[in-house]
């Protein structure tokens, strides 16, 4: 790999594509150009980017593009900005690798076949991620691509946490609790060790990744013990538009009383529920905080979110046998001090105590000095975990026999 070569990371969702370009700076990847295309499939598709090297920043409309057109636009735009020939490899966040893929893996036709097979595990995510991989292979033939799996962090969860209480024959077909947000959790644990020391990272830790998609993870000795998301990313906490946990009997009830189909139920729990469903106005917690004084529906949505996070923290403290460190991250966890305060208000029984001024300022440590549990705010970075995995794979390939590029057979 030449000294000027870079790695492109892609974090593709159903309505957005986030990207970043990394180069090695000593032994660590350094992020350069980064950005996202959002509102894919909606009116007003947008490109936002920041290039610290050239001191450029922009936010502009690019029409009304579907996912394929947005991906094509991104590759054309990157060709103008950095030249596609400067890219040594592409790393993708892939939401679920099923039971087979538990670590970053170079993408081959065999990997793609398995991802297609398990695409029903995450129909809101995997199909668009597969399409992005195929497009890169089509547009840049021979380009090595690496899949980094969001489920991998939870691969060593105890069997009792993975097992779903349904007939055992389904477990044999891969139906179990996988958990998600693993790239974020991996970064947070690395940062916790760097900031607070190895002993803190080995303690009883609860990680709260709170954003459009939200989940919690219970971690002990650096390993995932349990997590709130389950077989799909729709489980656990109520989120922006996802319901979180529901009574399984609700599907049958709505089929009988509303003639709701399986597809309509899927659409409801993934796109029409959560904060949006309860408030009937917005999926954005910032909007709801601004309206809660005058709109009881907004107030109830905010209260429900905070209550459910608090409840999961209590449950995971029980699973861990106590709590040493609580970490807030994600768009809500990092930027909403009012939400952090409301979540922690009912956790005095765990000796969680916030310092009001530190919390309002978004300090790295927001707990009061007299509290036993250290409460931290850590800004997550999934992309750097992808970049590290790709650079590591490229380095190993250079010291052995370089693998064939592209999505090879």
For the stretch 166-200, pLDDT in tens is 999 999 999 999 999 999 999 999 999 999 999 99
393 and 350 share one domain: no
393 and 328 share one domain: no
390 and 341 share one domain: no
Measured distance CA(279)–CA(285) in Å, rounded: 10
Looking up residue 208, the CATH number of its domain turns out to be: 3.30.420.40
351 and 392 share one domain: no
State the total domains in the chain. Answer: 2
Does 157 fall in a domain? no
344 and 394 share one domain: no
What lies within 8 Å, CB to CB, of 235 at 6+ separation is 228, 229, 244, 245
392 and 306 share one domain: no
Among 162, 225, 218, 152, CA closest to 382: 152
pLDDT of residue 37: 96
Q: How many CB atoms lie within 10 A of CB 246?
A: 15
288 and 389 share one domain: no
Domain that holds residue 74: 6-149+383-399
pLDDT of residue 408: 60
pLDDT of residue 5: 83
254 and 318 share one domain: yes
371 and 387 share one domain: no
Residue pair 375/354 in contact by the 8 Å Cβ criterion: yes
383 belongs to the catalytic site: no
Buried b (16+ CB within 10 A) or exposed e, 206-235: bbbbbbbbbbbbbbbebebbbbbbbbbbbb
Does 189 fall in a domain? no
pLDDT of residue 25: 85
Please report, for residues 154, 201, 209, 211, 321, the alpha-carbon distance to residue 374 in angstroms, rounded to integers and kept in the order given.
23, 12, 17, 22, 16
pLDDT of residue 272: 97
**Which contacts qualify for 73-80: CB closer than 8 Å, 24 or more apart?**
73/37, 73/47, 74/17, 74/19, 74/37, 75/135, 75/136, 75/139, 75/140, 77/47, 78/8, 78/19, 78/21
Q: At what angle do helices 249-257 and 262-271 cross, to 10 degrees?
A: 120
Does 358 fall in a domain? yes
DSSP-assigned beta bridge partners for residue 8: 21, 90
352 and 207 share one domain: yes
For the stretch 236-265, pLDDT in tens is 999 999 999 999 999 999 999 999 999 999
pLDDT of residue 409: 61
pLDDT of residue 402: 54
How many residues appear in the chain? 409
pLDDT of residue 143: 96
285 and 222 share one domain: yes
Give me the sign of the Cα torsion angle 152, 158, 159, 165: negative
pLDDT of residue 401: 62
Measured distance CA(243)–CA(278) in Å, rounded: 9
Does 173 fall in a domain? no
**Annotated catalytic residue, options 25, 27, 150, 324:** 150
For the chain (409 residues), the mean pLDDT of every run of 10, in chain order, is 80 86 91 93 90 92 92 95 95 94 95 95 90 94 96 96 97 95 98 98 98 96 98 96 97 98 97 97 95 98 98 98 98 97 97 98 97 97 96 88 63
pLDDT of residue 2: 55
DSSP-assigned beta bridge partners for residue 149: 94
Does 192 fall in a domain? no
Does 354 fall in a domain? yes
pLDDT of residue 3: 55
Measured distance CA(222)–CA(349) in Å, rounded: 24
Distance, CA of 151 to chain centre = 10
Measured distance CA(281)–CA(284) in Å, rounded: 9
Does 244 fall in a domain? yes
The two three-digit tokens of residue 350, written as one number = 């765990």
Q: How many CB atoms lie within 10 A of CB 60?
A: 8
pTM: 0.94
Does 126 fall in a domain? yes
205 and 123 share one domain: no
């Amino acid at each position: 790999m030449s000294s000027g070569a870079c790695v492109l990371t892609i974090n593709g969702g159903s309505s957005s594509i986030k990207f970043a370009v990394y180069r090695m700076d000593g032994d660590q990847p350094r992020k350069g150009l980064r950005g996202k295309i959002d509102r894919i499939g909606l009116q007003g598709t947008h490109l936002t980017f920041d290039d610290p090297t050239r001191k450029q920043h922009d936010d502009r409309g690019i029409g009304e593009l579907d996912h394929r057109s947005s991906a094509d636009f991104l590759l054309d735009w990157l060709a103008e900005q950095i030249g596609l020939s400067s890219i040594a490899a592409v790393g993708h966040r892939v939401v679920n690798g099923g039971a087979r893929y538990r670590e970053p893996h170079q993408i081959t036709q065999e990997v793609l076949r398995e991802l297609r097979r398990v695409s029903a595990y995450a129909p809101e995510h995997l199909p668009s991620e597969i399409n992005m991989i195929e497009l890169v292979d089509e547009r840049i033939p021979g380009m090595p691509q690496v899949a980094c799996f969001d489920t991998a962090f939870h691969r060593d969860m105890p069997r009792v946490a993975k097992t779903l209480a349904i007939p055992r024959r389904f477990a044999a077909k891969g139906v179990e609790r996988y958990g998600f947000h693993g790239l974020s959790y991996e970064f947070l644990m690395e940062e916790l060790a760097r900031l607070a020391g190895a002993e803190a990272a080995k303690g009883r830790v609860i990680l709260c990744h709170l954003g459009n998609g939200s989940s919690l993870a219970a971690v002990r000795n650096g390993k995932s013990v349990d997590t709130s998301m389950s077989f799909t990313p729709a489980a656990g906490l109520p989120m922006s538009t996802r319901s979180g946990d529901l009574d399984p009997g609700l599907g049958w009830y709505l089929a009988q009383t509303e003639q709701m189909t399986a597809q309509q139920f899927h659409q409801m729990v993934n796109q029409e529920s959560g904060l949006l469903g309860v408030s009937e106005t917005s999926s954005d917690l910032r909007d709801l905080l601004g309206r809660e004084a005058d709109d009881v529906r907004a107030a109830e949505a905010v209260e429900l979110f905070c209550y459910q996070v608090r409840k999961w923290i209590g449950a995971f403290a029980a699973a861990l046998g106590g709590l040493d460190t609580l970490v807030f991250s994600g768009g809500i966890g990092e930027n909403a001090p009012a939400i952090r305060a409301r979540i922690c208000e009912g956790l005095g029984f765990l000796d969680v105590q916030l310092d009001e001024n530190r919390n309002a300022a978004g300090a790295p440590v927001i707990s009061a000095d007299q509290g036993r549990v250290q409460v931290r705010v850590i800004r997550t970075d999934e992309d750097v975990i992808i970049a590290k995995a790709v650079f590591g794979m490229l380095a190993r390939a250079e010291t052995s026999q370089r693998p064939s590029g592209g999505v090879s057979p």
